[in-house]
Amino acid sequence: MEISAELAEAPVFVAGHNGMVGSALVRRLETSGFKNILTVDRSALDLRDQSAVNDWFAANRPSYVYLAAGTVGGIFANSTRQGEFLYDNLMIHSTVLEASRKTKVEKLLYLGSSCIYPRESPQPIAEDQLLRGRLEPTNEGYAIAKIAGIKMCEFYRKQYGCDFITAMPTNLYGPNDNFDPEHSHVLPALLRKFHESKTSGDNSVTIWGSGSPKREFMHVDDLADACLFLMQNYSEATHVNIGTGVDISIADLAYLMRSIINPKAEVSFDASMPDGMPRKLLDVSKLSALGWKSSVTLEEGIAQTYDWFGQNVDQARGI
Ligand code: GFB
């Protein structure tokens, strides 16, 4: 992606730069030639605190904002910490959008999640399915916060003329993910389980639920690429799905990961754990029509992430 000398100097704020998505955005911005990437640690700025966020924006004056900060987690974290997920995410997007409006940020990209769509959505899920039915109960708190974020961007555009755009990524994975055995998403959880089955020599791996739900997995580097693409090429009120267009059952994901990480592992299923949404494949025709498609295959992405994990296992989050 070519950028002008002027754009290369523009201050770009990545909110949530320590997370998997934020760190991928920083890497992608750097390789594109952006020289003035602004980040701030959680210990220095609580993004839930409006006056602190206002002061930070007034002092740092970002021109572009990628809003990738949030309290996130897998199915267990989502279902057992719904109050926290609702509060933190509502607060974070409210403070950042409001400070961006006040300081006249040129453009902002807000990241939601595919869990915003109704549980029984027709597959693949098109953008217009938003608010057409009941949400999946295991992530209702998180989804309601994310829906509020989408609507706030839409209403700020309408009322104040802010160029705020919104993107809904599918299930993501990659370097800097959270590998906590209880609170992570399925892919990092299984990566860790297969790795530990190999290093311990025990070879048994338990998969939560029935294994039949289907999920669409996208490498976070693809997501970051799509975000920069949208920042340059999209300026409308309605949100855009970001995905690969391909999904896989959890059982098949487990067998694929077993073949890559520990072919000797024996897999069993724990039916006492929830399945969550039966399927959530995103319809990516809008993004394709704009001219972007994903390029990292699931096999490549798992191998690359496992490589990263091997080199960073001691510092990986959730270990
Ligand atoms: O990735 P995951 O936690 O979240 O779970 P969701 C996906 C599927 O994998 C579920 C199964 O059917 C899980 O039961 N699974 C099997 C496992 N083994 C494991 C395991 O060891 N750990 C985990 N975590 N799952 C989240 C939402 O839903 O998706 C969030 O809760 C967010 O709101 C995120 O939107 C993208 O895909 O079910």
pLDDT tier, 281 (very low <50, low <70, confident <90, very high otherwise): very high
Q: Identify the pLDDT of residue 115.
A: 96
Q: Identify the pLDDT of residue 176.
A: 97
Q: What percent of the chain has pLDDT over 70?
A: 100
Q: Identify the pLDDT of residue 319.
A: 87
Residue 1 has pLDDT above 80, yes or no: no
What string of DSSP letters covers 213-235? Answer: -EE-EEEHHHHHHHHHHHHHH--
Pocket test for ligand 1, best of 85, 208, 216 (most atoms within 8 A of CB): 208
**Residue 229: how many other CB atoms lie within 10 Å:** 18
Q: With a threshold of 0.95, does the pTM exceed it?
A: yes
Q: Identify the pLDDT of residue 204.
A: 97
Of all protein residues, the one whose alpha carbon is nearest to atom 10 of ligand 1 is 275
Provide Rg for the chain, Cα atoms: 19
Q: In angstroms, what CA-CA distances link 298 with 36, 75, 85, 218?
A: 32, 21, 28, 7
Of all protein residues, the one whose alpha carbon is nearest to atom 9 of ligand 1 is 186
213: CA distance to ligand 1 center in Å?
9
Q: Is the CB of 74 under 6 A from ligand 1?
A: yes
Q: CA angle, 254 as apex, 211 and 85 as ends, to 5°?
A: 70
- From the CA of 172, give the closest atom in ligand 1: 36
Q: pLDDT for 289-319, tens place per residue?
A: 999 999 999 999 999 999 999 999 998 999 8
Q: Is the CB of 208 under 6 A from ligand 1?
A: yes
Residue 266 has pLDDT above 80, yes or no: yes
Q: Is the CB of 139 under 6 A from ligand 1?
A: yes
Q: In angstroms, what CA-CA distances link 254 with 38, 179, 181?
A: 38, 16, 15
Q: Is the CB of 169 under 6 A from ligand 1?
A: no
Residue 72 has pLDDT above 90, yes or no: yes
Q: pLDDT for 88-121, tens place per residue?
A: 999 999 999 999 999 999 999 999 999 999 999 9
Q: Identify the pLDDT of residue 276.
A: 96
pLDDT tier, 2 (very low <50, low <70, confident <90, very high otherwise): confident
Catalytic residues: 142
Q: Identify the pLDDT of residue 311.
A: 97
Q: Is the CB of 141 under 6 A from ligand 1?
A: no
Output the average pLDDT for the chain.
97
Q: What percent of the chain has pLDDT over 90?
A: 98
Q: pLDDT for 191-223, tens place per residue?
A: 999 999 999 999 999 999 999 999 999 999 999
Q: pLDDT for 114-159, tens place per residue?
A: 999 999 999 999 999 999 999 999 999 999 999 999 999 999 999 9
